[in-house]
Amino acid sequence: MTPASQGRAKGAALVAEVGPRLEKVFGRPGQRRHGSALDVLVGGVLSQNTSDVNSARAFDALMDRFGDYPAIADARASAIAAAIRSGGLARVKAPRLKRMLQDIRKRVPDMDLDGLLRGMSDEQARRHLTSIHGVGIKTASVVLLFAMKRPVFPVDTHVHRVSRRLGLIGPRVSREKAHAALEAIIPPGERHALHVNLIRHGRETCHARRPECPRCALEDVCPSAGTTG
């Protein structure tokens, strides 16, 4: 067995330990669609640097004001910003939304992004999404997991931090490269549940600063336990 394959086997064994423990704490989340691919893409932009409550409020206001995505793509950035003001950073997010939607419409005139993605493999769909203006690998993976129910594994800041502390990925593995590294050791059927529960664990226990190691369900299998201030 090569060192690389040994590392993957060790990581897979740790995943098999971590997943059930987190489910004892948080339960096993059910997988459901969170709207269309466009809904999730737009929601991703609106969620940047704000709370879930504020981003949801901004999304509702956006759709109430314009009604559909072609209308948003045609609107002035200033009008979009006025609609999404409740989500914060409206002047930054509005031109991003407009350009992203215009880029999608050039590729898919009817803006049926779901229909286009259904005919693609996971990797083809991820490559297509990341070629859209303003869409990175994390956002593309979120769209595939939550809009298309594909077995991919998005890596956000919480998942990245907790995975590094647990040793599921190396300390120098970037968030971008962590997607492939973690998908190599997490079974497809476990990716949704583990993604959701790692985020909850990162928010509630394994904080960026002062993680609460003494009450952590993973303390005895975490090589970083007690070492992060």
Cite the active site residues: 138
The span from the CA of 206 to the CA of 158, in Å, is 8
**Contact of 35 with 45, CB cutoff 8 Å:** no
**Helices 175-183 and 157-166 sit at what angle, rounded to 10 degrees?**
60
The Cα–Cα gap between 146 and 102 comes to 23
Classify 51 as helix, strand or coil.
coil
